[in-house]
Amino acid sequence: MKLKIAVLAGDGIGPEVTAEATAVLRAVAAAGGHTFEYIELPVGGTAITNFGTPLPDKTLQESLACDAVLMGAVGDNKFNALPPSERPEAGLLKIRKELGGFANLRPSVAYPALAENSPLRAEVTKDVDILFVRELLGGLYFGEPRWWDKEKKLAHNTMVYSADEVTRVAKVAFELAQKRKKKVTSVDKANVLEVSQLWRATVDEVAKGYPDVKLEHQLVDSMAIHLMNIPRNFDVVLTENLFGDILSDESGVITGSLGMLPSATIGGKVNLYEPVHGSAPDIAGTGKANPLGAILTAAMVLRHSGNLEAEAKAIEDSVTAVLDKGLRTADIARGAAFVKTGEMGKAVLDELNTRLK
Ligand code: IPM
Ligand code: MN
Protein backbone atom coordinates (compact mmCIF):
# COMPACT_ATOMS: atom_id res chain seq x y z
CA MET A 1 0.00 0.00 0.00
CA LYS A 2 1.24 3.49 -0.88
CA LEU A 3 0.54 6.58 1.21
CA LYS A 4 1.80 10.11 0.74
CA ILE A 5 1.65 11.85 4.11
CA ALA A 6 2.08 15.58 4.68
CA VAL A 7 3.71 16.13 8.07
CA LEU A 8 2.88 19.51 9.58
CA ALA A 9 4.64 19.32 12.93
CA GLY A 10 3.98 22.94 13.92
CA ASP A 11 4.89 24.59 17.21
CA GLY A 12 5.98 23.79 20.75
CA ILE A 13 5.89 20.06 21.44
CA GLY A 14 4.40 19.43 17.96
CA PRO A 15 7.71 18.38 16.33
CA GLU A 16 8.71 16.13 19.28
CA VAL A 17 5.50 14.14 19.39
CA THR A 18 5.15 14.01 15.60
CA ALA A 19 8.62 12.44 15.31
CA GLU A 20 7.41 9.56 17.52
CA ALA A 21 4.25 9.18 15.43
CA THR A 22 6.15 8.97 12.15
CA ALA A 23 8.62 6.49 13.70
CA VAL A 24 5.68 4.20 14.37
CA LEU A 25 4.39 4.64 10.81
CA ARG A 26 7.86 3.81 9.45
CA ALA A 27 7.88 0.58 11.46
CA VAL A 28 4.50 -0.42 10.03
CA ALA A 29 5.68 0.35 6.50
CA ALA A 30 8.89 -1.63 6.93
CA ALA A 31 7.14 -4.67 8.40
CA GLY A 32 4.34 -4.74 5.84
CA GLY A 33 6.25 -3.74 2.72
CA HIS A 34 4.23 -0.53 2.43
CA THR A 35 5.56 2.63 0.86
CA PHE A 36 4.82 5.67 3.01
CA GLU A 37 6.26 8.93 1.75
CA TYR A 38 6.54 11.95 4.06
CA ILE A 39 6.64 15.63 3.16
CA GLU A 40 7.47 18.00 6.01
CA LEU A 41 5.75 21.36 5.72
CA PRO A 42 5.60 24.50 7.90
CA VAL A 43 2.43 25.62 9.72
CA GLY A 44 1.45 27.79 12.70
CA GLY A 45 3.81 30.07 14.60
CA THR A 46 6.95 28.69 12.96
CA ALA A 47 5.39 29.43 9.57
CA ILE A 48 4.56 33.00 10.68
CA THR A 49 8.16 33.50 11.82
CA ASN A 50 9.71 32.08 8.65
CA PHE A 51 7.16 32.87 5.95
CA GLY A 52 4.95 35.61 7.40
CA THR A 53 1.77 33.51 7.36
CA PRO A 54 0.45 30.63 9.52
CA LEU A 55 -0.43 28.59 6.41
CA PRO A 56 1.96 29.17 3.50
CA ASP A 57 0.40 28.42 0.12
CA LYS A 58 3.01 25.71 -0.52
CA THR A 59 1.95 23.92 2.66
CA LEU A 60 -1.67 23.98 1.54
CA GLN A 61 -1.02 22.93 -2.06
CA GLU A 62 1.35 20.10 -1.11
CA SER A 63 -1.08 18.91 1.57
CA LEU A 64 -3.93 18.83 -0.93
CA ALA A 65 -1.78 16.56 -3.11
CA CYS A 66 -1.23 14.05 -0.27
CA ASP A 67 -3.35 11.12 0.94
CA ALA A 68 -3.26 12.27 4.57
CA VAL A 69 -2.13 15.25 6.60
CA LEU A 70 -0.54 14.56 9.99
CA MET A 71 -0.34 17.58 12.27
CA GLY A 72 1.50 18.13 15.53
CA ALA A 73 0.15 21.23 17.25
CA VAL A 74 0.02 24.97 16.66
CA GLY A 75 0.14 27.91 19.05
CA ASP A 76 2.80 30.15 20.51
CA ASN A 77 2.41 32.75 23.28
CA LYS A 78 4.59 35.07 21.22
CA PHE A 79 1.56 35.79 19.03
CA ASN A 80 -1.04 36.30 21.79
CA ALA A 81 -1.54 39.98 20.97
CA LEU A 82 -2.52 39.28 17.34
CA PRO A 83 -6.16 39.12 16.19
CA PRO A 84 -7.53 35.59 15.68
CA SER A 85 -7.13 35.86 11.89
CA GLU A 86 -3.33 36.32 12.16
CA ARG A 87 -2.51 33.86 14.95
CA PRO A 88 -0.95 30.41 14.51
CA GLU A 89 -4.40 28.87 15.11
CA ALA A 90 -5.66 30.60 11.94
CA GLY A 91 -3.35 28.32 9.96
CA LEU A 92 -4.98 25.27 11.49
CA LEU A 93 -8.51 26.55 10.88
CA LYS A 94 -7.64 27.42 7.27
CA ILE A 95 -6.18 24.02 6.49
CA ARG A 96 -9.21 22.33 8.12
CA LYS A 97 -11.49 24.36 5.85
CA GLU A 98 -9.44 23.78 2.69
CA LEU A 99 -9.02 20.03 3.21
CA GLY A 100 -12.78 19.91 3.68
CA GLY A 101 -13.10 17.24 6.37
CA PHE A 102 -16.22 18.00 8.40
CA ALA A 103 -16.34 15.05 10.80
CA ASN A 104 -13.71 15.19 13.52
CA LEU A 105 -13.47 11.84 15.30
CA ARG A 106 -12.11 12.05 18.84
CA PRO A 107 -12.02 8.76 20.72
CA SER A 108 -11.84 8.92 24.52
CA VAL A 109 -10.86 5.59 25.99
CA ALA A 110 -10.20 4.82 29.65
CA TYR A 111 -7.01 2.77 30.04
CA PRO A 112 -7.21 0.48 33.10
CA ALA A 113 -3.51 1.19 33.81
CA LEU A 114 -4.33 4.90 34.12
CA ALA A 115 -7.40 4.51 36.32
CA GLU A 116 -5.67 6.27 39.21
CA ASN A 117 -4.72 9.18 36.97
CA SER A 118 -8.25 10.44 36.66
CA PRO A 119 -9.73 12.53 39.45
CA LEU A 120 -12.85 10.43 38.79
CA ARG A 121 -13.14 7.20 40.75
CA ALA A 122 -11.96 4.07 38.93
CA GLU A 123 -15.48 2.61 39.09
CA VAL A 124 -16.74 5.67 37.15
CA THR A 125 -14.18 5.53 34.34
CA LYS A 126 -14.15 1.73 34.04
CA ASP A 127 -14.94 0.55 30.49
CA VAL A 128 -15.41 4.05 29.14
CA ASP A 129 -15.07 4.09 25.35
CA ILE A 130 -16.56 7.21 23.79
CA LEU A 131 -16.22 8.44 20.23
CA PHE A 132 -16.89 12.15 19.84
CA VAL A 133 -17.98 13.17 16.36
CA ARG A 134 -17.36 16.89 16.34
CA GLU A 135 -18.60 18.94 13.39
CA LEU A 136 -15.46 20.79 12.35
CA LEU A 137 -16.27 23.30 9.61
CA GLY A 138 -19.26 25.22 10.87
CA GLY A 139 -20.71 27.02 13.85
CA LEU A 140 -19.04 29.92 15.63
CA TYR A 141 -15.58 29.03 14.33
CA PHE A 142 -16.40 29.93 10.74
CA GLY A 143 -19.74 31.82 10.84
CA GLU A 144 -19.86 35.24 9.19
CA PRO A 145 -20.07 38.09 9.99
CA ARG A 146 -17.44 38.25 12.67
CA TRP A 147 -15.80 41.40 13.98
CA TRP A 148 -14.54 43.35 16.97
CA ASP A 149 -15.17 47.10 16.94
CA LYS A 150 -12.71 48.37 19.51
CA GLU A 151 -14.07 51.91 19.51
CA LYS A 152 -17.64 50.81 20.06
CA LYS A 153 -16.45 48.13 22.49
CA LEU A 154 -18.57 45.61 20.68
CA ALA A 155 -17.73 42.23 19.15
CA HIS A 156 -19.73 39.80 17.07
CA ASN A 157 -19.55 36.13 16.07
CA THR A 158 -22.11 34.09 14.20
CA MET A 159 -23.34 30.59 14.90
CA VAL A 160 -24.79 29.21 11.71
CA TYR A 161 -25.57 25.71 10.43
CA SER A 162 -27.47 24.51 7.39
CA ALA A 163 -29.48 21.28 7.48
CA ASP A 164 -27.07 19.84 4.89
CA GLU A 165 -24.10 20.47 7.15
CA VAL A 166 -25.86 18.75 10.04
CA THR A 167 -27.05 15.85 7.90
CA ARG A 168 -23.62 14.93 6.54
CA VAL A 169 -21.92 14.85 9.94
CA ALA A 170 -24.87 13.07 11.56
CA LYS A 171 -24.64 10.32 8.93
CA VAL A 172 -20.99 9.76 9.84
CA ALA A 173 -21.95 9.47 13.52
CA PHE A 174 -24.74 6.95 12.86
CA GLU A 175 -22.58 4.87 10.53
CA LEU A 176 -19.82 4.68 13.12
CA ALA A 177 -22.35 3.85 15.84
CA GLN A 178 -23.56 0.90 13.76
CA LYS A 179 -20.06 -0.59 14.09
CA ARG A 180 -19.95 0.12 17.86
CA LYS A 181 -22.59 -0.03 20.60
CA LYS A 182 -25.30 1.40 18.35
CA LYS A 183 -26.03 4.50 20.36
CA VAL A 184 -25.77 8.17 19.35
CA THR A 185 -26.03 11.00 21.85
CA SER A 186 -26.58 14.29 20.05
CA VAL A 187 -25.61 17.36 22.05
CA ASP A 188 -27.11 20.82 21.53
CA LYS A 189 -28.66 23.81 23.31
CA ALA A 190 -32.10 23.47 21.79
CA ASN A 191 -33.80 25.15 24.78
CA VAL A 192 -32.15 28.45 23.79
CA LEU A 193 -30.73 28.41 20.25
CA GLU A 194 -32.55 28.20 16.91
CA VAL A 195 -29.41 26.68 15.42
CA SER A 196 -29.72 23.87 17.95
CA GLN A 197 -33.39 23.36 17.15
CA LEU A 198 -32.47 22.91 13.50
CA TRP A 199 -29.65 20.59 14.61
CA ARG A 200 -32.01 18.44 16.68
CA ALA A 201 -34.73 18.24 14.03
CA THR A 202 -32.18 17.33 11.37
CA VAL A 203 -30.55 14.64 13.50
CA ASP A 204 -34.03 13.17 14.17
CA GLU A 205 -34.58 13.03 10.41
CA VAL A 206 -31.21 11.30 9.77
CA ALA A 207 -31.90 8.82 12.59
CA LYS A 208 -34.88 7.41 10.65
CA GLY A 209 -32.38 5.88 8.23
CA TYR A 210 -30.65 3.98 11.04
CA PRO A 211 -33.40 2.15 12.95
CA ASP A 212 -30.83 -0.13 14.60
CA VAL A 213 -29.16 2.83 16.32
CA LYS A 214 -30.62 4.35 19.48
CA LEU A 215 -30.64 8.15 19.47
CA GLU A 216 -30.81 10.41 22.51
CA HIS A 217 -30.54 14.19 22.77
CA GLN A 218 -28.72 16.01 25.55
CA LEU A 219 -28.42 19.71 26.31
CA VAL A 220 -24.77 20.67 26.41
CA ASP A 221 -24.80 21.93 29.99
CA SER A 222 -26.26 18.74 31.43
CA MET A 223 -24.06 16.71 29.07
CA ALA A 224 -21.01 18.28 30.72
CA ILE A 225 -22.20 16.82 34.02
CA HIS A 226 -23.25 13.40 32.68
CA LEU A 227 -19.85 13.04 31.04
CA MET A 228 -18.20 13.18 34.45
CA ASN A 229 -20.92 11.28 36.37
CA ILE A 230 -21.69 8.36 34.05
CA PRO A 231 -19.28 8.47 31.11
CA ARG A 232 -19.81 4.79 30.35
CA ASN A 233 -23.38 5.59 29.26
CA PHE A 234 -22.04 7.12 26.08
CA ASP A 235 -21.00 5.52 22.82
CA VAL A 236 -20.96 8.01 19.92
CA VAL A 237 -21.40 11.65 20.93
CA LEU A 238 -22.40 13.89 18.03
CA THR A 239 -22.13 17.65 18.40
CA GLU A 240 -21.34 20.97 16.77
CA ASN A 241 -17.94 22.58 16.55
CA LEU A 242 -17.57 24.59 19.78
CA PHE A 243 -19.49 22.17 22.02
CA GLY A 244 -17.34 19.36 20.61
CA ASP A 245 -14.16 21.30 21.30
CA ILE A 246 -15.15 21.80 24.93
CA LEU A 247 -16.58 18.34 25.63
CA SER A 248 -13.66 16.49 24.03
CA ASP A 249 -11.22 18.44 26.20
CA GLU A 250 -13.36 17.67 29.24
CA SER A 251 -13.20 13.99 28.38
CA GLY A 252 -9.43 14.18 28.84
CA VAL A 253 -10.26 13.97 32.54
CA ILE A 254 -11.47 10.40 32.01
CA THR A 255 -8.14 9.31 30.52
CA GLY A 256 -6.17 11.33 33.04
CA SER A 257 -4.35 13.41 30.43
CA LEU A 258 -5.16 15.37 27.30
CA GLY A 259 -1.82 14.05 26.03
CA MET A 260 -3.44 10.66 25.40
CA LEU A 261 -6.13 11.77 22.96
CA PRO A 262 -5.92 11.37 19.16
CA SER A 263 -8.19 12.65 16.40
CA ALA A 264 -8.99 12.14 12.74
CA THR A 265 -11.00 14.40 10.48
CA ILE A 266 -12.75 12.69 7.60
CA GLY A 267 -15.25 13.43 4.86
CA GLY A 268 -13.29 15.98 2.82
CA LYS A 269 -10.70 15.92 0.04
CA VAL A 270 -7.84 14.82 2.31
CA ASN A 271 -8.15 13.44 5.84
CA LEU A 272 -6.49 15.46 8.58
CA TYR A 273 -4.99 13.85 11.68
CA GLU A 274 -4.07 15.74 14.83
CA PRO A 275 -3.69 14.92 18.51
CA VAL A 276 -6.26 16.78 20.63
CA HIS A 277 -3.63 18.45 22.83
CA GLY A 278 -2.05 21.83 22.14
CA SER A 279 1.53 22.98 21.57
CA ALA A 280 2.36 23.22 25.32
CA PRO A 281 5.21 25.73 24.78
CA ASP A 282 6.06 25.61 28.51
CA ILE A 283 7.38 22.04 28.23
CA ALA A 284 8.70 22.10 24.65
CA GLY A 285 12.20 20.65 24.44
CA THR A 286 12.16 19.25 27.99
CA GLY A 287 11.24 15.66 27.07
CA LYS A 288 8.09 15.98 29.15
CA ALA A 289 5.67 15.78 26.23
CA ASN A 290 3.49 12.67 25.99
CA PRO A 291 3.79 11.24 22.46
CA LEU A 292 0.94 8.74 22.93
CA GLY A 293 -1.77 11.08 21.61
CA ALA A 294 0.29 11.57 18.43
CA ILE A 295 1.11 7.85 18.19
CA LEU A 296 -2.58 6.96 18.55
CA THR A 297 -3.24 9.56 15.87
CA ALA A 298 -0.85 7.65 13.59
CA ALA A 299 -3.01 4.57 14.22
CA MET A 300 -5.99 6.57 12.98
CA VAL A 301 -4.06 7.47 9.81
CA LEU A 302 -3.66 3.75 9.10
CA ARG A 303 -7.30 3.01 9.89
CA HIS A 304 -8.95 5.83 7.98
CA SER A 305 -6.49 6.58 5.15
CA GLY A 306 -4.72 3.25 4.74
CA ASN A 307 -7.52 0.81 5.51
CA LEU A 308 -4.89 -0.99 7.63
CA GLU A 309 -7.11 -1.95 10.55
CA ALA A 310 -4.87 -4.71 11.93
CA GLU A 311 -1.85 -2.39 11.97
CA ALA A 312 -3.87 0.40 13.62
CA LYS A 313 -4.99 -2.06 16.27
CA ALA A 314 -1.39 -3.24 16.76
CA ILE A 315 -0.34 0.34 17.55
CA GLU A 316 -3.24 0.77 19.99
CA ASP A 317 -2.42 -2.54 21.68
CA SER A 318 1.22 -1.50 21.94
CA VAL A 319 0.21 1.71 23.73
CA THR A 320 -1.94 -0.29 26.14
CA ALA A 321 0.97 -2.68 26.72
CA VAL A 322 3.53 0.01 27.60
CA LEU A 323 1.05 1.58 30.00
CA ASP A 324 0.38 -1.83 31.57
CA LYS A 325 4.14 -2.23 32.03
CA GLY A 326 4.09 0.98 34.08
CA LEU A 327 5.84 3.33 31.68
CA ARG A 328 4.77 6.93 32.23
CA THR A 329 5.53 10.30 30.71
CA ALA A 330 5.57 13.34 33.00
CA ASP A 331 1.88 14.20 32.52
CA ILE A 332 0.71 10.76 33.70
CA ALA A 333 3.43 9.97 36.25
CA ARG A 334 1.57 11.38 39.28
CA GLY A 335 4.78 12.70 40.75
CA ALA A 336 6.64 9.40 40.35
CA ALA A 337 9.51 8.61 37.99
CA PHE A 338 8.82 9.23 34.34
CA VAL A 339 10.43 8.55 30.97
CA LYS A 340 11.13 11.14 28.31
CA THR A 341 9.13 11.60 25.12
CA GLY A 342 11.64 9.64 23.01
CA GLU A 343 11.87 6.76 25.49
CA MET A 344 8.11 6.37 25.52
CA GLY A 345 8.10 6.38 21.72
CA LYS A 346 10.84 3.77 21.65
CA ALA A 347 8.96 1.55 24.12
CA VAL A 348 5.86 1.63 21.90
CA LEU A 349 8.03 0.83 18.86
CA ASP A 350 9.54 -2.21 20.59
CA GLU A 351 6.07 -3.50 21.49
CA LEU A 352 4.83 -2.80 17.99
CA ASN A 353 7.70 -4.60 16.29
CA THR A 354 6.97 -7.80 18.21
CA ARG A 355 3.32 -7.52 17.16
CA LEU A 356 4.07 -6.85 13.51
CA LYS A 357 6.28 -9.94 13.13
C1 IPM B 1 -8.62 21.73 19.09
C2 IPM B 1 -8.01 23.06 19.39
C3 IPM B 1 -8.33 24.02 18.25
C4 IPM B 1 -9.83 24.16 18.16
C5 IPM B 1 -7.63 25.39 18.33
C6 IPM B 1 -6.14 25.26 18.49
C7 IPM B 1 -7.98 26.27 17.17
O8 IPM B 1 -8.48 23.55 20.61
O9 IPM B 1 -8.26 21.14 18.07
O10 IPM B 1 -9.44 21.26 19.89
O11 IPM B 1 -10.41 24.98 18.88
O12 IPM B 1 -10.42 23.44 17.37
MN1 MN C 1 -9.67 22.10 21.75
Q: Single out the residue of 117, 85, 90 nearest to residue 329, CA to CA.
A: 117
Residue 344 pLDDT greater than 90, yes or no: yes
Q: What is the DSSP letter of 271?
A: E
Q: Give the residue-averaged pLDDT of 60-74.
A: 98
Exposed, middle or buried: residue 334 (CB in 10 Å: 0-12, 13-18, 19+)?
exposed
Q: Whose CA is closest to atom 10 on ligand 1?
A: 245
Mean pLDDT of 101-124: 97
Taking 90 as the threshold, does the pLDDT of residue 42 lie above it? yes
Half-sphere exposure of 21 (CA within 13 A, CB side): 37
In percent, the amount of the chain with pLDDT more than 90 equals 99
The catalytic site residues sit at: 141, 189, 221, 245, 249
Distance 76 CA to ligand 1 centre (A): 13
User: 18-30: per-residue pLDDT in tens?
Assistant: 999 999 999 999 9
**145 upstream amide cis, omega within 30 of 0:** yes
Same CATH topology for 1-109+258-357 and 119-255: the answer is yes
Mean confidence (pLDDT) of the chain:
97
Distance CA 7, CA 83 (A): 26
The CB-based long-range contact list for 204-207 (8 Å cut-off, 24+ gap) reads 205/167, 206/166, 206/167, 206/170, 206/171, 206/174, 207/170, 207/174
How many angstroms is it from 40 CA to the middle of ligand 1? 21
Fold for 119-255, please state it: Isopropylmalate Dehydrogenase (3.40.718)
d(CA 74, CA 96): 13
Expressed in angstroms and rounded, the spacing between residue 276 Cα and the centre of ligand 2 is: 6
So what's the pLDDT on residue 140?
A: 98
Domain-wise residue ranges, the chain: 1-109+258-357, 119-255
240 lines ligand 1 (CB under 6 A): no
CA–CA dist 70, 83 (Å, integer):
26
**Is 1-109+258-357 a CATH 3.30.300.10 domain?**
no
What's the confidence (pLDDT) of residue 86? Answer: 94
pLDDT at 79: 96
Q: Is 107 within 8 Å of 131 (Cβ atoms)? A: yes
pTM for the whole thing?
A: 0.97
pLDDT at 357 over 90: no
